[in-house]
Structure 1
């Protein structure tokens, strides 16, 4: 049986470059990896709602499914809201019910937001913008990117901070338009030393999935908000286990 295709979805302010080590390691283990920068990031004409980001992810997942592949979608951080909004009906079970082959078998959230329909990132954060980023209309911009990389050497942290881009304010304030985690199994990588989304907040979201009747399993690792940079080996092995390998 062929291995599932992997879709990596970068979070707010980030490009797919942050996934480069994880991507190459997955590819060396026989996986096909798809990723792209979401329209909300680094855009001179930033989106006003989630539509462009949702469409972008749906196009990427459709490409990964192809003629009938199984797919694992792995969003990071804010991209969890896009994943929940975009993938209703894209699950393998839901597609088979419509006579279509392949589909998303699992969503592997990496310290990512999982919210009910109608809830925005700002809502999930309590309606308060943290002091490490700011609203400079029409964007949000990161003022202290070290919160993402607190377990990286200083030189590496400064490099990745220099790569952060603008992000559409409107999309962070826009409510989720779906909750695909109610129908697609979820695996969650909880990062215990995360300074951007504290561990307790990740736990609350994971528990919310359980309370809503979703299928979720949580694995904990002691890393920052960017484990794909500080511990790519752990992330790759976790994704491989999600894909059904025994590691």
Structure 2
């Protein structure tokens, strides 16, 4: 019998970020022999006119999944968990989902709803866009200052529809999943992470703030590889 085919690892960023945030993790995974793809969600930094929202992001995730010839493991960070849950629903090639301090929401739930129905005080809402007021403190508390500064400089506004649209489907209801609780997160409280982690089949914990791809990349790589192995 031939050896099992290694899945492709699809990395999906969170709000206001882009695929660039995964670079330390991507580099290590590629060095370890994995094929890695990523998605830039269209709700981040949208052009004038109709703003893409959660459902558009989910379609982008699904298109990236469908473009892979073979099995896929999808890794989502923060907001990215919402479009991944919707976009990966009923996708036959998706073997596992990894939620990294991410919104593992159910159909009918939204990011704003999960935040209690009111925007957190560190969200700045500007018409149909929103952005973080204090990203250094909320996202990068355990990241080297020069790395955090570079990341903050690359953040972009995001369509507010990404926060308000409700999920139409949830892949984790039928696809195995791992939740990574980040115990020093200032963006998604640990109690909220643990509530969502109850929907996952396996839970890992890291002593990290909200961005373990920058502060604990080796630990995150270990978790992703474990989820992707047969």
TM-score (norm 1): 0.88
- The structural deviation recorded for 1:48 is 4.9
Give the one of 15, 23, 37 matched to 1:20. Answer: 23
Tell whether 2:141 aligns with 1:138.
Answer: no
1:124-152 deviation digits (Å, cap 9, x = unpaired) = 00012112221101100111101100001
Number of equivalenced pairs: 225
In the alignment, structure 1 segments of 5+ residues that lack a partner are 96-102, 210-214
TM-score (norm 2): 0.94
Give the one of 58, 61, 69 matched to 1:57. Answer: 61
Tell whether 2:180 aligns with 1:189.
Answer: yes
1:175 maps to 166
- The structural deviation recorded for 1:180 is 1.1
> Could you say what the CA RMSD is over the residues aligned between the two structures, in angstroms?
1.3
1:226 maps to 211
In the alignment, structure 2 segments of 5+ residues that lack a partner are none
2:229 maps to 244
Measured in 2, the distance between the counterparts of 1:240 and 1:135 equals 37
Give the one of 121, 139, 154 matched to 2:111. Answer: 121
Measured in 2, the distance between the counterparts of 1:125 and 1:3 equals 36
* Alignment check: 8 A CA contact 1:47 1:171 kept: no
* Alignment check: 8 A CA contact 2:54 2:82 kept: no
* Alignment check: 8 A CA contact 1:191 1:224 kept: yes
2:77 maps to 76
- The structural deviation recorded for 1:55 is 1.3
- The structural deviation recorded for 1:50 is 2.5
- The structural deviation recorded for 1:49 is 3.7
